[in-house]
Amino acid sequence: DVPEVAVIPGDGIGHEVVPAAVEVLETVGDYAFTEAEAGDATLDETGEALPAETYELAATADATLFGAAGESAADVILPLREAVGSFVNIRPATAYPGVDALRPETDLVFLRENTEGVYAGHEDRLTDDVSTLTRVVTETASRRLGEFACEYVRERPEHDGFTVAHKANVMRETDGLFRDTVLAEAERAGVDADTVLMDAFATHVCLDPDRFDVIVCPNLAGDVLSDLAAGLVGGLGLLPSANVGDERGLFEPVHGTAPDIAGEGVANPAATMLSAAMLVESLGDDDAGDRIRTAVEGVLSDGPRTPDLGGQATTREVTDAVLARL
């Protein structure tokens, strides 16, 4: 039985980088691909940014590769994360040798809670003047993330432990519950863990990214702090991500649709290919994951480069260079 992989290019450069990553997947393994639609163009055509068929496909496929969505991103990506039952968003932020980075020593992994916080989003307009949002933090979701973080660190000898980023000095009950529950899991598992206030993290990661390694955060903190780390490694263009659930996952580059270059055939496919590496690993093929990562990193360090990295190569040329190394 060949794993079923749902493929959702979305909008903009999604239509360029996702097919490139699919070629990579076809080279390293045997997968049954099914393509589906989502995003702004789909919204225009069908009245829905995320059609029920696309949701269903992601909810049943063994893994989903997603590109990017435009204005409708939140209406696409948040339900898709739910469709795959994802409880953690893994966001590595690594500077690659040979790629311009503000902090070339940056090598971080964010483990972002993926189900609640402000994203659980119960909002009300109580009066003309007053609006509220109910932020939700549960012990169950915090414990699950903590367990995952412990397993993640223990399976990877390159990581010594993790840091919990939080704002429990202000959000005492909610972030306090998050922090204490994750720390309790670390203690139970015998994993080293410390804590940092999310605002202090924002300063310190700029001054000395080496101070940190794996960062475990609530949902919105993970969103903002991982995007900050993206700035330190030179932009969103190279960052992959994995939305991991118990049975399946959703894999997507951190970048957006890049409307300024969409359709020109010069989008950088690296982040989507690195997301594909995480995808095959989630299907148990660590070997194929390593092969993809090695090939992409090789091309990043001395192969052809797309314009975002200061080169003149096309997506096609970069893809061929990666395929040649596989």
**Which amino acid makes up residue 47?**
G
Assess 194 for contact with its own copies (CB under 8 A).
no
**Which amino acid makes up residue 313?**
A
Closest to ligand IPM by CB, 74 or 102: 74
Least gap, CB of 96 to its own copies (angstroms): 16
- Answer whether 243's CB lies under 8 Å from 252's CB: yes
Q: What is the x/- site pattern for its own copies, positions 279-318, by CB under 8 A?
A: ----------------------------------------
Closest to its own copies by CB, 202 or 283: 202
Least gap, CB of 325 to its own copies (angstroms): 28
The item of ligand IPM, its own copies, none sharing an interface with residue 284, based on CB under 5 to 8 Å by kind, is none
> Helices 270-282 and 14-28, interaxial angle, to 10°?
40
Least gap, CB of 129 to ligand IPM (angstroms): 24
Structure tokens at 45: 């055509």
Q: Which range binds ligand IPM by CB under 6 A, 35-43, 70-78, 181-189, 277-285?
A: 70-78
Active site residue 167: yes
- Distance set, CA 132 to CA 46, 129, 135 (Å): 32, 10, 9
Assess 82 for contact with ligand IPM (CB under 6 A).
no
Q: Per the residue annotation, which of 62, 223, 285, 308 is the catalytic one?
A: 223
Least gap, CB of 223 to ligand IPM (angstroms): 5
What's the farthest any 2 CA atoms get from each other in the chain? 62
CA 83 – CA 81 distance, rounded (Å): 5
Active site residue 227: yes
Assess 133 for contact with its own copies (CB under 8 A).
yes
Tell me whether residue 315 is exposed, middle or buried, using C-beta atoms within 10 angstroms of its C-beta: 0 to 12, 13 to 18, 19 or more: buried
Q: Per the residue annotation, which of 119, 152, 175, 308 is the catalytic one?
A: 119
Instruction: Tell me which of 30, 155, 158, 173 binds its own copies, using CB under 8 A.
Output: 173
Q: What radius of gyration do the chain's Cα atoms show? A: 19
Tell the residue number behind the tokens 């990295």, with chain if given. Answer: 309
Assess 77 for contact with ligand IPM (CB under 6 A).
yes
CA 314 – CA 237 distance, rounded (Å): 15
Which residue, among 283, 308, 289, 234, has the nearest Cα to 28 in the 3D structure? 289
Structure tokens at 313: 């190569």
Write the CB contacts of 128 (distance below 8 Å, at least 6 apart in sequence): none
Active site residue 223: yes
CA 206 – CA 231 distance, rounded (Å): 10
Assess 37 for contact with ligand IPM (CB under 6 A).
no
Q: Which range binds its own copies by CB under 8 A, 21-29, 184-192, 233-241, 294-302?
A: 233-241
Assess 131 for contact with its own copies (CB under 8 A).
yes
Give me the residues that bind its own copies (CB under 8 A), please.
Answer: 73-74, 78, 102-103, 118-119, 121, 123-125, 128-140, 167, 169-174, 177, 198-200, 202-207, 220, 223-225, 227-228, 230-232, 234-236
